[in-house]
């Protein structure tokens, strides 16, 4: 509670030194990356050091090496960011099977419930104008769209940029401006899967620069949510950046994003609003190692990647930037979470979070503006299960699972059920289905490598016996404990018989007990799938002559293999 008390003071301080804006309220700019890993930035140790703008952003702002997502998959992570609540509370999970990651493919029936209060809805009360640029992922059916949930503007798509599809079995993904579609990926917005060329990041950059400039003129505070997706497979970059990275196409995409962020920050400075704009850079989940190295990033020294609750799946690169407000070149050991961006943004806007529901995000402004450290646990969920918890430097795994033997060892993709394949590929970000994957069947002498390369492996090259398991392993009575300071890679479980284990678990057990006891799960939104709800005839399709005929409705439980 004492944390809340700090707020008015800190806010006054922030605002007094602040703005040219009429309202006195800071603009809010969240730069959310897609499948970018902790280790993809120079400042986080990427050996090629190809992110000069992000590294400079860190040197002018505050770096958070202990920042997490709320879920190792995109849709739930994004729903958590915008609601300040764990996916198990806001409904972005499934109960179809135990501890399964779920998201919002085109077949999904559900989406963000009306009962949830999203950040832009709340910011309206303080006069903010909100725009989302890029991937929404909180439901593609019209009732779930951004403009139904508080955003004033939208440029982007409701789903991932998978494709191209034939518009018969599956429609191509629409791209929206505000309430109506203006085209489809691969038709009107080109992505060349062979070369990796697409100019989408340039379009998203221009949208951001235009919005910022318009808002500066109108002198209304803004919330811009820049949720771009060039680092999500199929990875892309525009012509100018293709072939420029030492890291291949993935690196080209990172370089273009880095360059774009440099331009956005520069524009804030040129418009003289940088001292009145709070900027936060992070990612939705860990790098998709299944797509690496061609189409996936790096989680640095952390274990495994996207889809898992190991550090590689959930620890994110994070930088806060606000010249004049945030001291330059600082590193904060504050544990943070994407859900905190909800509460912190409200706090900076002088608003209180809703009091009628549990909010998991905390107000980070004392950490960001005054260098304080706030004690708090991090909960690592996979679907409906709390897999792990971090308290201080310790992390306790209550459940471990990488992925199933069935998925891990599938030798050739055409041997498995195509529906399950498509789901697997899309949700993992694998490129097997996009048609750009290289055959991996020609490495003589390394049969096991060949097999697992063709299967789904969330932990390539990593194997911690008893930890990176292919069966779901329960450890609720005797959790696997790691010291993330000494052992960030989760390689050395602390001995159960040590006094260290006993002392730490005595602190962790009651916190977990309290968390579970008071947890009221929301209604799961990601259980049902139906090909009839796909993007056949999105709003605006008539004007473009791009409406397609949906098949007959046949709702069934979605299959979530991970």
Catalytic residue positions, numbered? 74, 137
46 binds a second copy (CB under 8 A): yes
As a whole number of angstroms, the distance between CA 291 and CA 471 comes to 22
Q: Which of 214, 263, 301, 515 binds a second copy (CB under 8 A)?
A: 301
Residue 7: Cβ-neighbour burial (10 angstroms; 0-12, 13-18, 19+): middle
From first CA to last CA, the distance across the chain in angstroms is: 38
Q: How far is the CB of 441 from a second copy (least distance, A)?
A: 9
Residue in 6, 440, 528, 548 binding a second copy, rule: CB under 8 A: 440
Backbone angles phi, psi at 275, to 5 degrees: -80, 0
What does the block give as tokens for 389? 């918890």
Q: What angle do CA 337, 115, 162 make, to 5 degrees?
A: 60
Of 8-16, 195-203, 495-503, 506-514, the segment contacting a second copy by CB under 8 A is 495-503
Task: Report the residue from 251, 286, 336, 361 that binds a second copy according to the rule CB under 8 A.
Answer: 251
Instruction: For 290-355, give the secondary structure using H, E and C.
Output: HHCCCCCCCCCCCCCCCCCCCHHHHEECCEEECCCCCCCCEECCCCEECCHHHHHHHHHCCCCCCC
Minimum Å gap between C-beta 373 and a second copy is: 12
Structure-derived torsion over alpha carbons of residues 456, 461, 462, 466, reported in degrees to the nearest 10 = 70
Q: At its nearest, how many Å lie between a second copy and the CB of residue 460?
A: 5
CB of 498 to a second copy, least distance (A): 8
Binding-site member from 405, 419, 496, 509 for a second copy (CB under 8 A): 496
Q: Where are the alpha helices (DSSP H) in 150-288?
A: 200-218, 249-270
Q: Does 333 bind a second copy (CB under 8 A)?
A: yes
Where helices occur in 26-177 by DSSP H, the ranges are: 52-60, 74-83, 87-90, 119-123
Binding residue (CB under 8 A) for a second copy from 23, 210, 487, 532:
487
Residue 466 makes contact with a second copy by CB under 8 A: yes
Encode burial over 139-149: b for 16+ CB neighbours within 10 A, e otherwise.
bbbeebbbbbb
Give the C-alpha separation, 493 to 394, whole Å: 11
Stretch that binds a second copy, among 106-114, 286-294, 352-360, 413-421 (CB under 8 A): 286-294
In the window 369-398, what residues touch a second copy (CB under 8 A)?
393
- Whole-number minimum distance, CB 495 to a second copy, in Å? 5
Q: Does 12 bind a second copy (CB under 8 A)?
A: no
Of residues 18, 19, 26, 42, which one binds a second copy by CB under 8 A? 42
Kindly tell me which residue out of 53, 172, 431, 462 binds a second copy, with binding defined by CB under 8 A: 462
**Does residue 489 touch a second copy according to CB under 8 A?**
yes
Q: Which residues are CB-neighbours of 138 under 8 A, at least 6 positions away?
A: 75, 78, 79, 82, 92, 104, 111, 112, 144, 146, 149
**Which residue stretch of 195-203, 300-308, 340-348, 357-365 sits at the interface with a second copy (rule: CB under 8 A)?**
300-308
Residue 9 or 441 with smaller CB distance to a second copy:
441
- 545 counts as binding a second copy under rule CB under 8 A: no
461 binds a second copy (CB under 8 A): yes
CB of 254 to a second copy, least distance (A): 12
Is residue 322 close enough to count as binding a second copy by CB under 8 A?
no
Q: Does the protein bind a second copy through residue 444 (CB under 8 A)?
A: yes
**Residue 48 found at the interface with a second copy (CB under 8 A):** yes
- How buried is residue 345: exposed, middle or buried, by Cβ count under 10 Å (0-12/13-18/19+)? buried
Count other Cβ atoms within 10 Å, centred on residue 443: 10
Q: Which has the closest alpha carbon to 69: 304, 255, 295, 310?
A: 310
Residue 530's φ and ψ, nearest 5 degrees, are: -160, 120
47 binds a second copy (CB under 8 A): yes
**Span interacting with a second copy, options 199-207, 422-430, 439-447, 502-510, rule CB under 8 A:** 439-447
**Cβ count within 10 A of residue 2:** 7
In whole angstroms, how far apart are CA 211 and each of 27, 205, 244, 267, 473? 12, 10, 29, 11, 48
Only one of the segments 126-134, 231-239, 484-492, 503-511 lies at the binding site for a second copy (rule: CB under 8 A); that segment is: 484-492
**Nearest approach, Cβ of residue 21 and a second copy (Å):** 33
How far is 166 from 169, CA to CA, in rounded Å? 7
- Rule CB under 8 A: is residue 331 a binding residue for a second copy? yes
Which of 508, 504, 488 lies closest to 496, judged by CA? 504
Q: Closer CB to a second copy, residue 46 or residue 153? A: 46
Our finding on whether 247 is near a second copy (CB under 8 A) is: yes
Q: CA dihedral in degrees (447, 453, 455, 459; nearest 10)? A: 120
Q: What residues numbered 58-97 form the site for a second copy, per CB under 8 A?
A: 59, 63, 65-66
Measured CA distances, 520 to 414, 441, 559 (Å): 41, 48, 24
Secondary structure of residue 129 in the 3-state scheme: strand
Which positions from 117 through 136 interact with a second copy, judged by CB under 8 A? Answer: none
Judged by CB under 8 A, which of 54, 292, 386, 456 binds a second copy? Answer: 292
Among 488, 522, 538, 540, binds a second copy (CB under 8 A): 488
Identify the H or E element spanning 480: strand 480-483
Q: Which stretch binds a second copy (CB under 8 A): 277-285, 299-307, 360-368, 415-423?
A: 299-307
Q: Which residues bind a second copy (CB under 8 A)?
A: 39, 42, 44-49, 59, 63, 65-66, 245-248, 250-251, 292-294, 298, 300-301, 303, 331, 333, 393, 438-440, 442-446, 448-449, 452-453, 460-466, 478, 483-489, 491-493, 495-498
């Amino acid at each position: 509670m004492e944390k809340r008390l700090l707020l008015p003071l800190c806010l006054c301080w922030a605002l007094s030194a602040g703005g040219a804006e009429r309202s006195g309220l800071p603009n809010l700019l969240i730069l959310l990356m897609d499948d970018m890993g902790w280790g993809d930035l120079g400042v986080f140790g990427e050996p090629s050091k190809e992110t000069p703008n992000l590294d400079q952003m860190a040197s002018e702002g505050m770096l958070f090496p202990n920042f997490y997502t709320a879920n190792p998959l995109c849709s739930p992570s994004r729903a958590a960011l915008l609601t300040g609540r764990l996916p198990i509370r806001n409904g972005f999970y499934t109960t179809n099977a135990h501890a399964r990651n779920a998201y919002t493919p085109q077949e999904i029936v559900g989406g963000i419930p009306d009962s949830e209060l999203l950040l832009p809805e709340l910011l309206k009360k303080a006069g903010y104008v909100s725009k989302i640029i890029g991937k929404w992922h909180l439901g593609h059916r019209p009732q779930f769209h951004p403009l139904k949930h508080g955003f004033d503007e939208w440029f982007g798509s409701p789903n991932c940029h998978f494709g191209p599809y034939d518009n018969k079995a599956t429609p191509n993904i629409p791209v929206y401006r505000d309430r109506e579609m203006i085209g489809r990926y691969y038709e009107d917005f080109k992505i060349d899967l062979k070369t990796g060329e697409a100019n989408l990041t340039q379009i998203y950059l221009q949208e951001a620069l235009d919005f910022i400039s318009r808002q500066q003129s109108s002198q209304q505070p803004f919330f811009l949510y820049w949720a771009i997706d060039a680092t999500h497979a199929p990875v892309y970059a525009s012509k100018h950046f293709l072939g420029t990275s030492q890291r291949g196409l993935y690196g080209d995409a990172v370089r273009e994003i880095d360059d774009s962020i440099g331009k956005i920050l520069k524009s804030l400075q040129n418009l003289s609003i940088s001292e009145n704009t709070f900027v936060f850079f992070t990612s939705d989940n860990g790098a998709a190692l299944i797509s690496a190295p061609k189409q996936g990033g790096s989680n640095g020294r952390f274990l495994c990647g996207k889809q898992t609750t190991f550090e590689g799946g959930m620890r994110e690169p994070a930088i806060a930037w606000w010249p004049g407000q945030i001291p330059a070149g600082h590193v904060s050991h504050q544990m943070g979470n994407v859900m905190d961006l909800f509460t912190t943004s409200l706090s900076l806007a002088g608003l209180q979070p809703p009091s009628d529901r549990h909010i998991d995000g905390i107000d980070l402004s004392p950490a960001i503006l005054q260098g304080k450290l706030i004690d708090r646990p991090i909960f690592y969920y996979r679907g409906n299960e709390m897999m792990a918890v971090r308290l201080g430097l310790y992390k306790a795994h209550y459940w471990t699972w990488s992925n199933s033997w069935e998925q891990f060892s599938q030798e050739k993709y055409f041997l498995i059920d195509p529906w399950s394949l498509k789901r697997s590929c899309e949700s993992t970000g694998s490129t097997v289905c996009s048609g750009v994957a290289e055959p991996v069947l020609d490495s003589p002498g390394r049969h096991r490598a060949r097999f697992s390369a063709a299967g789904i492996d969330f932990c390539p090259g990593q194997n911690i016996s008893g930890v990176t398991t292919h069966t779901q392993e329960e450890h609720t009575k005797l959790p696997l404990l790691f010291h993330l300071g000494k052992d960030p890679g989760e390689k050395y479980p602390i001995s159960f018989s040590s006094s260290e284990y006993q002392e730490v678990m005595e602190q962790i057990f009651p916190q977990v007990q309290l968390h579970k006891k008071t947890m009221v799960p929301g209604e799961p939104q990601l259980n049902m799938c139906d090909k009839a709800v796909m993007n056949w005839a999105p709003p605006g399709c008539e004007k473009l002559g791009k409406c397609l005929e949906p098949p007959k409705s046949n709702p069934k439980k979605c299959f979530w293999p991970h």
